[in-house]
Amino acid sequence: MLRLSLLALAIVMLVAGLPLASTTAVAQEAPILLVAHPDVNTRQLKRDTTRAIFAMRQRTWPDGQAVRVFVLDNNHPVHARFAKEQLAVYPHQLQLAWDRMVFSGTGQAPDRVRDQAEMRERIATTPGALGYLEREYLDDRVQVISME
């Protein structure tokens, strides 16, 4: 009798979890876009240039303006998706590049933010700023940069 109750409970939990799992999968598919401070003149970046900027190897926009990079924590799912989907690297590879620069004294890591709301705020208020956001976090205080 107890086995049957546990089996019934397991089936109910499995069935109840399915809609939640499928909703989560859909939410994770929201596009992640490159965003910049509204005064940045660059409207489009090549993937290699974007990767170099986020790896902190390139410190200026193509027009020479200083770039200030903002990222979410390495464990944040949006950061992981951005690194993999847009930069074609793993988050730990970016972290290794940042650590190498910091420890060798040749550069610095990007500025970390807590969440996408803070990312939007920091990009909107920091000249030359670059980061990434899901579409739902966009507003007219930041501009989208397309990637070639």
Amino acid 30: pLDDT: 85
Q: Report d(CA 148, CA 107) in Å as an integer.
A: 27
Better-scored residue on pLDDT, 131 or 19: 131
In a shared domain, residues 9 and 54: no
Domain of 103 in residue numbering reads as 31-147
Q: What is the pTM of this model?
A: 0.80
In a shared domain, residues 99 and 74: yes
In a shared domain, residues 5 and 69: no
Please report, rounded to a whole number, the percentage of residues in the chain having pLDDT higher than 70: 80
Count of structural domains, the chain: 2
Phi–psi pair at 32, nearest 5 degrees: -105, 125
Q: The domain that contains 72 carries what CATH number?
A: 3.40.190.10
pLDDT for residue 14 is more than 50: no
In a shared domain, residues 63 and 25: no
Helix (H) or strand (E) segment spanning residue 33: strand 32-36
pLDDT for residue 7 is more than 50: no
In a shared domain, residues 107 and 121: yes
The angle subtended at Cα 135 by Cα 131 and Cα 138, nearest 5°, is 65
The residue whose two tokens read 């489009």 is: 44
Query: Tens digits of per-residue pLDDT, 20-70?
Result: 344 444 445 689 999 999 999 999 999 999 999 999 999 999 999 999 999
In a shared domain, residues 7 and 74: no
The residue whose two tokens read 């507003």 is: 139
3-state SS record for 54-80 = HCCCCCECCCCCECEEEEECCCCHHHH
Contacting residues for 107 by C-beta, under 8 A, at least 6 apart: 56, 57, 59, 98, 101
In a shared domain, residues 39 and 77: yes
In a shared domain, residues 89 and 65: yes
Contact between 123 and 131 under an 8 Å Cβ cutoff? The reply is yes
In a shared domain, residues 51 and 99: yes
In a shared domain, residues 13 and 84: no
